[in-house]
Amino acid sequence: MLRSSAVRFSHFLPSLLLLLAGLAAAYVKDLNVFFTSLFNVLPTLVLLLGGAYCAVYRRQRELFLMVTVYIAYFLLDTQTDFYRDNGKVREDAAVVFHLVCLLLPLLFGLFAAWQERTHLFQDMVARFAVLLVFGSVALALEQSFPQALLLWLSEIRWPALHGAWMSLIQLSYPMFAAAFLLLAWQYWRHPRPLHAAQLVGLLGVFWMLPKTFILPFTLNIMCSQVMLMIAAAVAHEAYQMAFRDELTGLPGRRALNERMQRLGRNYVLAMSDVDHFKKFNDTHGHDVGDQVLRLVASKLSKIGGGGRAYRYGGEEFALVFAGKTIDECMPHLEVIRQSIETYSIQLRNPDSRPQDDQQGRQRRSGSAASSVSVTVSIGVAERLEQRTPEEVLKSADQALYNAKGAGRNCVIAHGQNRRGAVRMEAAAG
């Protein structure tokens, strides 16, 4: 649970830092010429770099989110520039501002929840068509019926719900609420850095709009930060794809290789393997095999003693203990081995899958539910003088081979013979 919470917090952390940085910058009163010039070009610069980054990696959802935010920025920046230069707003400022307050949360929520499911070109055309239709209709109404549109937008439809604190048109609040609930539900179902960035970005937009004509450069700063959140989330997910195993959620082989290059002088490496996994897979199927791997990974991720688990490949996992001795690590490895051995896995029948979680829990707790259990073998090696991490890992792999030969379901240290593979409970006896 703690590790899951930490993972979710890591999803939000970059976006929250960008949001806080934007808030801090927006409240700075006296800016020198450098920052004034920077904030003037920053949104366009972020769009060009971030948009190019999203286009290269074919992330069209993120690209259109950034374009939507930039269009809102461009429309409002024209109004704020006129206000700063002339000390008064343009005649169309109110209707343009209200339209942005209505359409920005609507389009932001739409594009954020719209996942790529079709051919990329068709998907791009569909997104562009939606943006064009909304933009064309809004422009036509603004040009043809400005006063009627302004009255319709600014009308207070629900007096009982209107508060003195509301500085936007009443219609924009249900739009923001609907978009926020939609994106929160999306993150709850699929926790991802991108979905977290969308939520935080929507909050940034909601804070920004009422301050557009009040705080100088608020529009430039917050639009830039929201686009940066989206670009940073794309980079975060690219990193996860490269360094994190998709099936188990553990760091992958590449992450292990990088970690091994940064180990100190004292460390312990362990190799773990699921016993008889090929036979288990052939008997119960690959779906159950994947369930077993996720279980083992979940248990190994909770290793104590400062250890860190990695998916090495197939049914093999590696564990790294930095700054530890082998005597300090062995008890923690035994605890993990025992927890896997005693855990009963309830087999699921995909043809009779329950409709909700409550039915699933009742069915899994019933006497008719079939279950299996697995064991793991673990080999351990400690760094000695003039040994590289690769050599230590090779020694741990040899110790794993010895654990297999000792009857499996045991922990063996490098150099320990097969008769020395004594489990904790046997030693206690």
The SS3 of residue 251 is: strand
For 405, the enclosing helix (H) or strand (E) is helix 389-405
Q: Which pLDDT belongs to residue 3?
A: 53
Q: Which pLDDT belongs to residue 351?
A: 52
CB-based burial label for 113 (10 Å; 0-12, 13-18, 19+): middle
The bridge status of strand 316-322 relative to strand 345-346 is: unpaired
Q: Which pLDDT belongs to residue 343?
A: 86
Residues of the chain with pLDDT under 50: 1-2, 352-354, 357, 363-368, 418-429
Residue written as token pair 């975060």: 236
Q: Which pLDDT belongs to residue 160?
A: 81
* pLDDT tens-digit map of 218-264: 999 999 999 999 999 998 888 887 788 888 888 898 889 888 888 88
Residue written as token pair 């000792």: 406
Q: Which pLDDT belongs to residue 423?
A: 44
How many whole angstroms separate alpha carbon 317 and alpha carbon 311? Answer: 5
Q: Where are the alpha helices (DSSP H) in 314-378?
A: 326-341, 357-365
Instruction: Please indicate, yes or no, whether the overall pTM of this predicted structure exceeds 0.75.
Output: no
- Which one of 62, 91, 246, 315 is the catalytic residue? 315
Contacts of 78 (CB under 8 A, 6+ apart): none
How many whole angstroms separate alpha carbon 406 and alpha carbon 426? Answer: 15
Q: Which pLDDT belongs to residue 334?
A: 93
425 in catalytic set: no
Cα end-to-end distance, the chain, whole Å: 33
Q: Which of 413, 416, 406, 420 is nearest to 271 (CA)?
A: 413
Q: Which pLDDT belongs to residue 174?
A: 94
